[in-house]
């Protein structure tokens, strides 16, 4: 794999980006190779001997702690710790596995993931002098990130209205339910939550966003759930912000990344998911099924549910303004903009097209409704942020569900 970013090289699929694995032991350390590599590695690399450690290697030495943080192999950490009350010695052994590309633009399928682990162990032995006993069927997953990256039809910022809504209607499982944390509950759509960066008002939330890197400003992030974290962000802008790729090597089009990070191995062990937390239990088919099941629950079903609820809200608002003024359009739009502020960024009018079905229902006639809608639409030529949002939402939802 290379550090290349282009439309032609990206495989749009659901796959693996990074993980933390365990289930391996330390066989031996070659001091000559270790010391040589120490001088080359820019990250952290050391080991500490210990007379009581449970990490006993071939030559009889005991290692209390071993740590290697290097971009070529990820993060290896092994340590023996003693329980102060029982005196029992416990050994920790974890390896953070990343993609082999410097920019992690392309995810891995299951075969590539297993091959990457084997290459890391071989590299540790041959170049770092650290011989790991890591039999693939014994390796277990502590944490893993499944993701998909795909090209989008418009610039990422043009999906702002869509992503903002998707974030605000995520299920209750991603909320803390308290104003002192990242997400607070608001009294509108059932199980409706809104991210609360500023901890107080929507205006302060917007000011907070101004100080963040561009990729963070446009990120949907919900990490409060103890077992699952979900994130959507502009992958190419993130590469720019982190200088992972030269600007000249980044294509002009935009790409969206959607990530699910599983922080609790019990989710993997569940019979309805993978029935095991072992590395070899993962298959491409199971990963795709798991990802889409979660995405449907969190985004597709929530969006469709909100649209049904929002139709009733729109119906009441449009009916109210039509009954109170012949020139109701301006008052309705003003009310819609005010609603966004009152509901912490949640829209009343998501897409101008949504008013079409409302007018058809109020007029009790599709023909009359369409005629009224045409006049309504012409009066809103400057409300560009309310045009095409339904199509953009459909693009994202269908893109993932059809993978």
| pLDDT given for residue 145 in this prediction | 98
| pLDDT given for residue 239 in this prediction | 77
| pLDDT given for residue 190 in this prediction | 37
| pLDDT given for residue 82 in this prediction | 75
| pLDDT given for residue 252 in this prediction | 76
- Widest CA span in the chain: 91
| pLDDT given for residue 343 in this prediction | 73
**Averages of pLDDT over each 10 residues, the chain, 403 residues:** 63 97 96 96 93 89 95 94 72 94 88 98 97 97 97 92 86 60 38 39 59 61 78 83 67 89 95 95 98 96 92 96 93 92 82 97 95 93 92 98 97
| Model confidence pLDDT, tens digit, residues 234-272 | 888 877 776 666 666 677 789 999 999 999 999 999 999
| pLDDT given for residue 197 in this prediction | 34
What's the mean pLDDT when you consider all of the chain?
A: 86
């Amino acid at each position: 794999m290379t550090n290349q970013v282009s439309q032609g090289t990206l495989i749009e699929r659901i796959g693996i980006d990074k993980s933390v694995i365990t289930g391996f032991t330390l066989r031996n350390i070659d001091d000559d190779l270790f010391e040589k590599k120490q001088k080359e590695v820019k990250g952290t690399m050391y080991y500490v001997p210990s007379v009581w450690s449970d990490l006993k290697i071939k030559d009889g030495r005991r290692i209390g702690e071993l740590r290697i943080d290097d971009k070529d192999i990820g993060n290896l950490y092994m340590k023996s710790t003693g329980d102060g009350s029982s005196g029992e010695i416990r050994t920790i052994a974890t390896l953070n596995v990343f993609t082999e590309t410097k920019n992690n633009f392309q995810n891995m399928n299951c075969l590539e993931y297993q091959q990457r682990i084997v290459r890391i162990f071989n590299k540790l032995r041959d170049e770092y002098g650290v011989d790991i006993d890591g039999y693939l069927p014994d390796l277990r997953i502590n944490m893993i990130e499944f993701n998909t990256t795909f090209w989008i039809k418009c610039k990422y910022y043009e999906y702002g209205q869509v992503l903002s809504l998707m974030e605000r209607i995520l299920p209750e499982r991603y909320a803390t339910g308290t104003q002192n944390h990242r997400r607070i509950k608001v009294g509108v759509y059932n199980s409706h939550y809104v991210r609360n960066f500023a901890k107080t008002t929507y205006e302060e939330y917007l000011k907070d966003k101004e100080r963040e890197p561009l990729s963070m400003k446009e990120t949907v992030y919900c990490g409060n759930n103890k077992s699952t974290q979900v994130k959507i962000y502009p992958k190419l802008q993130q590469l720019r912000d982190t200088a992972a790729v030269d600007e000249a090597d980044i294509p002009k089009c935009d790409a969206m990344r959607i990530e699910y990070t599983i922080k609790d191995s019990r989710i993997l062990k569940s019979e309805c998911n993978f029935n095991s937390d072992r590395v070899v239990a993962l298959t491409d088919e199971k990963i795709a099924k798991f990802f889409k099941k979660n995405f449907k629950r969190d985004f597709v079903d929530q969006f469709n549910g909100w649209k049904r609820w929002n139709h009733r809200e729109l119906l009441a608002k449009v009916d109210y303004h039509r009954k109170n003024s012949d020139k109701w359009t301006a008052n309705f739009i003003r009310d819609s903009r005010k609603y966004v502020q009152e509901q912490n960024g949640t829209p009343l009018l998501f897409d101008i097209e949504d008013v079409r079905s409302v007018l058809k229902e109020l007029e009790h006639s599709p023909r009359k409704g369409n005629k009224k809608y045409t006049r309504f639409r012409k009066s809103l030529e400057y409300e560009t942020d309310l045009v095409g949002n339904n199509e953009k939402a459909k693009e994202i939802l269908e893109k993932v569900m059809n993978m």
